[in-house]
């Protein structure tokens, strides 16, 4: 199988990454060492011609765009926000959630004023409200976005909603769904050319039909 350089795969650290690894292993890209409990971040299986890296989920697209990884798995939310120069090869149908607008229960919008929007997804929010001609004031935060409207820092938030528990426990509710999200297989553009056979073998094993 091997011989040449391995297929370099950036996996998002955490539960989603573990699910992704299980799918890839089933598709023939096993690397059992990755399942051993350790603090190592890089794992290689020379025989299977594969090398995995664990990276922060929001950084996967950076490794892939710059060619440090040939392929990786990133949420559609990250792809919409950062628009990395990569191929989006396949929807893996896991990591499903939504990007949504949420507000405190009973919030009434004042159309005369710019809407104050707290979010990690500034570009998505700008595109969404720009598309409807609504003036907004973006407050860019890096996490715990749900706190912003509670403390009066913003009127609404644009954030990921998965189970809805975080909103519920903070007395917020979904106002509009902006876009459904799921995990996508992405590839570096030249990596895709040079490692096409391996990538297509992986995609076929995942139930896709190649690019």
By CB under 6 A, residue 151 contacts ligand PRP: no
By CB under 6 A, residue 80 contacts ligand PRP: no
Nearer of residues 68 and 79 to ligand PRP, judged by Cβ: 79
Among 37, 110, 163, 209, binds ligand PRP (CB under 6 A): 163
| DSSP-derived pairing of the beta strands 183-187 and 71-75 | antiparallel
By CB under 6 A, residue 14 contacts ligand PRP: no
Nearer of residues 58 and 200 to ligand PRP, judged by Cβ: 58
Among 27, 79, 124, 160, binds ligand PRP (CB under 6 A): 160
Among 162, 190, 196, 204, binds ligand PRP (CB under 6 A): 162
Site size toward ligand PRP, by CB under 6 A = 12
By CB under 6 A, residue 164 contacts ligand PRP: yes
- The residue sitting closest to ligand PRP, measured at its beta carbon, is 143
Nearer of residues 106 and 143 to ligand PRP, judged by Cβ: 143
Binding footprint of ligand PRP on the chain (CB under 6 A)? 143-146, 159-166
């Amino acid at each position: 199988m091997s011989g040449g350089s391995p297929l370099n795969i950036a996996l998002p650290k955490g539960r989603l990454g573990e699910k992704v690894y299980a799918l890839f292993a089933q598709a023939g890209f096993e690397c059992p060492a990755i399942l051993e409990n350790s603090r190592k971040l890089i794992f290689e299986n020379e025989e299977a011609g594969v090398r995995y890296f664990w990276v922060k989920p929001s950084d996967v697209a950076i490794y892939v765009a710059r060619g440090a990884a040939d392929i990786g798995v990133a949420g559609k939310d990250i792809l919409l926000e950062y628009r990395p120069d990569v191929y989006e090869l396949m929807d893996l149908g896991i990591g499903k959630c939504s990007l949504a607008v949420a507000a405190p229960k009973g919030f009434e919008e004042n159309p005369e004023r710019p809407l104050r929007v707290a979010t990690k997804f500034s570009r998505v929010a700008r595109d969404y409200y720009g598309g409807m001609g609504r003036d907004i004031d973006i407050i860019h935060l890096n996490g715990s976005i749900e706190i912003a409207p509670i403390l009066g820092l913003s009127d609404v938030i644009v954030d990921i909603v998965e189970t809805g528990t975080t909103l519920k426990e903070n007395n917020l509710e979904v106002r509009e769904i902006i876009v459904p999200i799921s995990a996508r297989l992405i590839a570096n553009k030249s990596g895709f050319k040079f490692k096409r056979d391996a990538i297509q073998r992986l995609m076929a094993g995942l139930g896709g039909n190649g690019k």
